[in-house]
Amino acid sequence: MAWLTSFYPDVYLDSTYEIDFEALYRKGFRGVIFDVDNTLVPHGAPADACSIALFERLKSIGFESVLLSNNKEPRVKMFSDEVHTRYIYKAGKPGKKGYLRAMEMMKTSPASTLFVGDQLFTDVWGAKRTGILTYLVKPIHPKEEIQIVLKRRLERIVLFFYRRSLEKRQR
């Protein structure tokens, strides 16, 4: 099952809001690409105080940022306008094109960019294929579109083997 590792995140956390962006900046990271729905806010929700504060914090640290979403422009633009960052809609994740375009917008490289998202088969896989450090976060809210609900069942299998591989490495 070695092929499963192409879906394994580099880091798996409960929430976007627990990432130590200051430490990542000190390590040389300069750009952050974010998924929106269920990564920063519940699916379809507007920006909230936490997400607005996060983007203000990122700017004060010195990070560039881009929202990368497979959603339509009105949804992504609304959120982008509230957090004051750039965006790419209908990104075609897990294809590499959107990730490469985001790095071009931020003037970063795979070595200086990280990606934060809540889905293995689109967010993580696409970022890994592009050579970007991947952070998988648990979905904020269980309400999701049916196609995502079905993918979550497969994700559980991959995450089972991911956790098992972490346990083996820690022994």
pLDDT confidence bin for 163, thresholds 50/70/90 = confident
Under DSSP, the state recorded for 84 is T
- What pLDDT does 167 receive? 79
Model pLDDT for residues 18-64, shown as the tens digit of each residue = 999 999 999 999 999 999 999 999 988 999 999 999 999 999 999 99
- What pLDDT does 67 receive? 98
Cα separation, 115 vs 33, whole angstroms? 5
Tell me the backbone φ, ψ of residue 31, rounded to 5 degrees: -135, 145
β-strand pairing of 86-88 with 113-117: unpaired
Cα separation, 138 vs 10, whole angstroms? 14
Of 62-76, 92-106, 152-166, the one with minimum mean pLDDT is: 152-166
Cα separation, 169 vs 4, whole angstroms? 16
Number of Cβ atoms within 10 Å of the Cβ of 143: 12
Does the pLDDT of residue 90 top 80, yes or no?
yes
pLDDT confidence bin for 165, thresholds 50/70/90 = confident
β-strand pairing of 113-117 with 31-34: parallel
Return the sign of the alpha-carbon dihedral for residues 164, 166, 169, 171: negative
